[in-house]
Amino acid sequence: MNFERGFKSWAERTSQNFRRDFGLQAYSPLEPALLATHLDVRLCTPKEIPGLPQEVLDQLLKHDPSGWSAVSIYQRDRGLVIYNPAHSKGRQASDIMHELAHLVLDHKPATVILSHDGTLVMRSYDQKQEDEANWLAWCLLLPRDALTRCARGALSIEAIAEQYGVSKTLVNFRLRVTGVQAQIRSYQRHRQ
């Protein structure tokens, strides 16, 4: 992931700013639903979309529930995030926050392309935008301040994941890429 200079710092500051706007501590969990409400974005599952044909619901929720995560669209000038209820709660939080991050970043929506007979849907996307949305989403879910506080408190990976409503995989990743893991190890070595 190559980001423009300053993007990672901006993402951490944005995470802090949202928490401050909501009256939360810099290390407090941030629920995706709270941010969605603030951004005037409706969260829903495919079952909550009126008029969606049963065969589409079956494909999304029964036949291929691992084939998709979430999508954001605009409906009458209001954002809508449709997420996969078959995923774990931690994965849902990451998927929803990813879509909200696209909106915060004011990214151009992906292009949907239909085949000549109108049956095949393909989606093009911008990898840079996807990487930026991931990074911001992960900062929103697990800011560096929270990781530092949890690590100093000797919370386990499982406890951090539970407290912040994310996956253990995301906790491990964020501990590593933020440098918190190395910082805590260095601190522990110097205390011995």
pLDDT at res. 61: 87
In sequence order, the 6+-apart residues with CB closer than 8 A to the CB of 141 are 30, 32, 93, 94, 97, 164, 165, 166, 170
So what's the pLDDT on residue 146? Answer: 95
Instruction: Return the pLDDT at 120.
Output: 47
Question: What does the CA dihedral 146, 149, 151, 157 come to, rounded to 10 degrees?
Answer: -40
The pTM assigned to this predicted structure is 0.88
What tens digit of pLDDT does each residue of 138-154 get?
999 999 999 999 988 88
Mean pLDDT of 166-184: 91
Q: Are 139 and 177 in contact (CB under 8 A)?
A: no
Confidence bin at 133 (pLDDT 50/70/90): very high
- Burial per residue of 39-61, b for 16 or more beta-carbon CB atoms within 10 angstroms, e otherwise: eebebebbeeeeeeeeeeeeebb
Determine the residue type at 144.
R
pLDDT per position as a tens digit, 5-51: 999 999 999 999 999 999 999 999 999 999 999 999 999 999 998 88
User: Residue 165 burial by CB count (10 A; 0-12/13-18/19+): exposed, middle or buried?
Assistant: middle
Segment 56-103, tens digit of pLDDT: 888 888 888 888 898 888 777 788 899 999 999 999 999 999 999 999
What was the pLDDT predicted at 177? 93
